[in-house]
Amino acid sequence: MTKATLQRRPLVKQILANADDNLLVIGGLGSSNWDITEAGDRPLNMPMWGGMGAPVGMGLGLALAQPSRRVLVITGDGDMLMSLGSLATVATQQPDNLAICVLDNEKFGETGNQATHTSPRNNGPTDSGAGTDLAMVARGCGIADTGTVREASQVAQLVKDLRAAKGPIFRLVKVMVEKLEFVMPPQDGAHLKDRFRQALLGHP
């Protein structure tokens, strides 16, 4: 498989361009949060600081509770691998306002770029060598609209789909391994929760 060429920061900036109050964004811990914050910190972003495996479940709950809003989960492959079962639950619920975008760098980037299960392997002749395909996992869980994005030419459609296509949708985006500066959102979880609720509901 060819090496990934997409860069996560400009990609996320494009995905979140002109985000309005209709868009609720859940950020996966680590690199996805820094990407989302660089695109512009806003009260309707809910970054997971250390809550690995939590974003899709939280996105699902929010999508069901707020059916008139768009909910977008942007997270990493390591995080997604920790909560594969949540994809099956998304499929059973079929929220039409939920989009999930996994930025797959095939690494646990935040903790030092250890290979995740999506990395190709070399375990001998009986091993296919293919890493876990999270888009196929999502499809197998029962999410009908899934896809993988590798090329810049696919990005405009990706953005449209994530922002507006009928959910639930799942997109796997193969991104480069890069060393990027931290761009951190506020670190106080209670503050993040309160400002999110205030912006969404009008009270903390």
Ligand X SMILES: Cc1ncc(C[n+]2csc(CCOP(=O)(O)OP(=O)(O)O)c2C)c(N)n1
Of residues 111 and 123, the one with the C-beta less far from ligand X:
111
x/- letters, 134..173, toward ligand X (CB under 6 A)? ----------------------------------------
DSSP letter string over 143-196?
Answer: -SEEEEE-SGGGHHHHHHHHHHS-SSEEEEEEB-------------HHHHHHHH
Q: State in angstroms the smallest separation of the CB of 161 from ligand X.
A: 21
Q: State in angstroms the smallest separation of the CB of 28 from ligand X.
A: 6
> Which of 2, 3, 20, 50 forms a contact with ligand X (CB under 6 A)?
50
Rounded to an integer, what distance in angstroms lies between the CA atom of residue 199 and that of residue 195? Answer: 6
Between the two ends of the chain, the Cα-to-Cα distance in Å is: 47
DSSP state, residue 120:
-
List binders of ligand X among 11-40 (CB under 6 A).
28-32
Q: Which of 83, 172, 169, 168 is nearest to 133 (CA)?
A: 172
> Which of 111, 123, 126, 153 forms a contact with ligand X (CB under 6 A)?
111
Q: State in angstroms the smallest separation of the CB of 35 from ligand X.
A: 8
x/- letters, 69..108, toward ligand X (CB under 6 A)? -------xxxx-----------------------x-x-xx
Query: For the chain, how big is the Rg over CA atoms in Å?
Result: 16
> Which of 11, 12, 23, 52 forms a contact with ligand X (CB under 6 A)?
52
Rounded to an integer, what distance in angstroms lies between the CA atom of residue 185 and that of residue 127? Answer: 41
Residues binding ligand X: what is the number (CB under 6 A)?
A: 19
In a 3-state reduction of DSSP, which class is residue 99?
A: strand
Residues in contact with ligand X by CB under 6 A are: 28-32, 50, 52, 76-79, 103, 105, 107-111, 116
